[in-house]
A and B are shown apart, each in its own frame.
Chain A
């Protein structure tokens, strides 16, 4: 079974500062993927960044970077230069990669609500 833990129910950050959202995971699978999604109040889940378990480098996408520490089973999201529009719920998720049928469905954490203050 897979499990995602997000221990920060809410976070505040000042505009233009960096913020780290924590995510730890548990799985017995050797091959898996880690995702971060943003969910604004409108409800849509917006894909931010992906990290494969065998990727040697940490993933980056613009202002988003994923601090992947495999031995510690953590996949923290770092948002640099926060903007007011970054205020939203952020979900960490993972899926296993099965050789025969490809990616299994995502398992999500409980989320972190980020509020960016001017």
Chain B
């Protein structure tokens, strides 16, 4: 499978705990995006990387959220001191900078439930 891969697919955690999600983009894609989606809503942009550089962060990305892409390949999204409002699906996507075919590909998402 050469698509965008995310894990874990599902995570249930207690409020206050830290969680980390991993995203492996399509191998030749240098752009990587994180989105958050709550039930009944469209995805909301969180942040994106070009290679290892984090180029933009949404104001939705509070100081409890941190994303890294240390070697320009896979990325991690960590949420510290989780709150119930963090319950959502976290989507990762990747593309080429000058997206050949103009396509941004998404993974299957990581569902987070904070109890």
Report B30-84 residues with CB < 8 Å from chain A CB: 31, 33, 35, 40-45, 48, 50, 55-56
Asked whether any CB of chain B lies closer than 8 Å to the CB of A80, the reply is no
Q: B87 near A: Cβ within 8 Å?
A: no
Chain B residue, CB-CB nearest to A9: B40
Q: Name the A residues within 8 Å of B41 (CB-CB).
A: 110-111
**Contact present for B103 and A50 (CB under 8 Å):** yes
Q: Kindly identify which residue among A91, A101, A102 contacts B43, using a CB–CB cutoff of 8 Å.
A: A91
B102 touching A50 by the CB < 8 A rule?
A: yes
B45 touches A43 (CB 8 A): no
A107 close to B (CB within 8 Å):
yes
B33 CB contacts on chain A under 8 angstroms: 105-106
Interface core residue of A50, A101, A106 (most chain B CB under 10 Å): A106
| Contact A103–B106 (Cβ < 8 Å) | no
A35 to B104 CA separation, bound complex (whole angstroms): 9
Give every chain A residue within 8 A of B106 (Cβ-Cβ): 37, 44-47
Measured CA separation A37–B98 after assembly (Å): 20
- Alpha-carbon gap, A110 to B111, bound state (A): 19
Chain B nearest Cβ from A64, distance in angstroms: 14
Contact B95 A101 (CB under 8 A): no
B12 contacts chain A at the CB level, 8 A cutoff: no
| Complex: A50 Cα to B31 Cα, angstroms | 18
Q: Which of B83-110 contact A (CB under 8 A)?
A: 89, 91, 93, 95, 97-99, 101-109
Find chain B residues with CB under 8 A from A47 CB: 103-106
A101 adjacent to B108 (CB under 8 Å): no
Given A108-B44, A109-B42, 17 other A-B contacts at CB below 8 A?
A: A33-B102, A42-B108, A45-B109, A52-B102, A91-B42, A93-B42, A95-B104, A102-B31, A102-B98, A102-B99, A103-B102, A105-B45, A106-B35, A106-B93, A107-B45, A108-B42, A110-B40
